Amino acid sequence: MSRTYHIVTFGCQMNERDSETIAGMLEEMGYEYCPDFKAADVCVLNTCSVREHADKRFFGVLGQLKNPHEQDPGRIVCVCGCMMQQQVHIDTLKAKYPWVDIVFGTHNIADFPRMFRNAAEEHQKITEVWKDAGPIAEGLPAKREYPFKAFVSIMQGCNNFCTYCIVPYTRGRERSRAPEAVLAEIEGLAASGCREIMLLGQNVNSYAGVCGEDGCDRFGIAPGQKVTFPQLLRRIDCIDGIERVRFMTSHPKDLSDDLVQCFADLKHLCKQIHLPVQAGSDRVLKEMNRHYDSAHYLELIRKLRAACPEIAISTDIIVGFPGETEEDFQATVDLVEKVRYDSAFTFIYSVRKGTPAEKMPDQVPEEIKHQRFDRLLEVIHRIQEEKSAEYQDAVLPVLVEGFSKTDPNVLTGRTESNKTVDFTVRAPEGAEAGCNSAAACAEALIGQIIPVKIVKAQTFSLYGEAELQ
């Protein structure tokens, strides 16, 4: 009987991409995916330390693995990811969860197969966490969720040290992949039928991949010179078969005019950007160590909309940063009204141990943070509803991702602006659909980009209809 694995991933797309690598390694070692994390022979928990909520969820899930592990000590439980880069969490695991078999960090994922074999064959308990990041490992396997869209990591780590953020301490300093390695990965994906890629990095705008000994012919760049993010995007835009390119995340201080121009010039770059603002108050932005003010941010929005009037803009906002006054909060609301985001991820500030903001005076009382959060959401949702209404009756190209989780007769996909659309499909009257059943017709659309007419545009969701051609 085949052995099985399950990976529970907390946090961001970088973690999701790491989990794809770990899944690829386990499959190369002969393990098969199991949908039930408590029943799998191997369970990997890939942790996130960006917000308190993810920490708590992790310990909740880990606790549920204790009984299955006691009943079958042959089961292997692995814990990895950002939390494991902090000694305090390793100490907690050792004290309270000594039955965990393997603990490793964000920097030594490439070594997972060796650690795994030692745990599986020699029954060793292993804790190996590298304090510092080495060069980015290339050529690792990956088990991707979809054949038609993929994450491609172009850099790792962050140099920005925003005062509320733990990432530079858990993921290390910025390292960019070699440009030729990025292109080779995307060309391989295109050759296997992938249509959409999402380029990943904590701050993709500061990508600076170094050309190897032979230089980067395709960029016309000499050995040892660096390729910028806009240069990389322009080259990716020429790869046959890739129809949509997205990227995440951008830091406003590094968003260059050259990158803005890419939205006007590039055929396959989606008209969509996620540009975290975090706060509208210049005083709070300074305390956050963000290196821009609200005027600079608004100027970037103006430039983006001048280059690409249809661009959809989303953001991240933190409410209740230490010392945030009512006036500071109102500045955030004012900025949201000016930008009119298509969507926004809002977070209530939570203390992260080991960050400078942890020690800042004037932590905002929970009650006030929640009140402000609710007020901000009201504004964001009103604008979102107004913007969503603009899609009513529009016909939009949608990359079909699969069947809706709540209705097997409905397909779901994403627009270029990254909005989810649930839609039904019908054959034109009197026409032969050319496939055996409605379900088979719908199934054949998965992975394709097709026109969908929006018949109901709601605040958070779009509903549409598509006709079989």
Query: Using CA of residue 211, residue 217, residue 219, residue 223, what is the dihedral sign?
Result: positive
- Which CB atom, from 201 or from 464, has the smaller least distance to ligand SF4? 201
**Of these, 15, 202, 315, 417, which contacts ligand SF4 (CB under 6 A)?**
202
**Count of residues that interact with ligand SF4, criterion CB under 6 A:** 10
Of the candidates 249, 270, 234, the residue with the CA atom closest to the CA atom of residue 153:
249
Question: Which residue matches tokens 């190209």?
Answer: 397
- Which CB atom, from 168 or from 215, has the smaller least distance to ligand SF4? 168
> Measured from the CB of residue 203, what is the shortest distance to ligand SF4 in angstroms?
5
Q: How far is CA 201 from the centre of its chain?
A: 9
**Of these, 203, 228, 250, 412, which contacts ligand SF4 (CB under 6 A)?**
203
- Which CB atom, from 205 or from 417, has the smaller least distance to ligand SF4? 205
d(CA 8, CA 240): 34
Fill in the per-residue mask, 286 to 325: x = in contact with ligand SF4 (CB under 6 A), - = not in contact: ----------------------------------------
- Which CB atom, from 172 or from 447, has the smaller least distance to ligand SF4? 172
Tell me how crowded residue 406 is: count the other CB atoms within 10 A of its CB: 8
- Which CB atom, from 49 or from 388, has the smaller least distance to ligand SF4? 49
215 forms part of the interface with ligand SF4 (CB under 6 A): no
> Measured from the CB of residue 422, what is the shortest distance to ligand SF4 in angstroms?
32
Residues 27 and 143 sit within 8 Å (Cβ to Cβ):
yes
Partners of 278 in the β-ladder: 317
> Measured from the CB of residue 251, what is the shortest distance to ligand SF4 in angstroms?
5
How would you list the strands of the sheet with 126-128, edge to edge? Answer: 32-33, 4-9, 42-47, 76-81, 102-104, 126-128
Report 149-188 residues binding ligand SF4 (CB under 6 A).
Answer: 158, 160-162, 165, 167-168
For residues 437-459, one letter each, b for 16 or more C-beta atoms within 10 angstroms of the residue's C-beta and e for the rest, the string is eeeebbeebbbebbebebeebee
> Measured from the CB of residue 276, what is the shortest distance to ligand SF4 in angstroms?
7
> Measured from the CB of residue 195, what is the shortest distance to ligand SF4 in angstroms?
28
> Measured from the CB of residue 248, what is the shortest distance to ligand SF4 in angstroms?
11
Pure H helices in 251-324: 257-265, 282-287, 294-307
> Measured from the CB of residue 253, what is the shortest distance to ligand SF4 in angstroms?
9
Which residues neighbour 419 within 8 Å (Cβ) at sequence distance 6 or greater?
Answer: 312, 342, 388, 391, 462
- Which CB atom, from 86 or from 203, has the smaller least distance to ligand SF4? 203
> Measured from the CB of residue 466, what is the shortest distance to ligand SF4 in angstroms?
38
- Which CB atom, from 23 or from 167, has the smaller least distance to ligand SF4? 167
- Which CB atom, from 58 or from 164, has the smaller least distance to ligand SF4? 164
Cα distance from N-terminal residue to C-terminal residue, the chain = 45
What letter would DSSP give residue 407?
-
Pure H helices in 210-266: 229-236, 257-265
Which residues neighbour 229 within 8 Å (Cβ) at sequence distance 6 or greater?
Answer: 154, 204, 205, 206, 207, 247, 259
d(CA 21, CA 11): 16
Of the candidates 54, 247, 87, the residue with the CA atom closest to the CA atom of residue 170:
87
- Which CB atom, from 69 or from 352, has the smaller least distance to ligand SF4? 352
**Of these, 251, 268, 369, 419, which contacts ligand SF4 (CB under 6 A)?**
251
> Measured from the CB of residue 343, what is the shortest distance to ligand SF4 in angstroms?
18
Could you list the residues that contact ligand SF4 (CB under 6 A)?
A: 158, 160-162, 165, 167-168, 202-203, 251
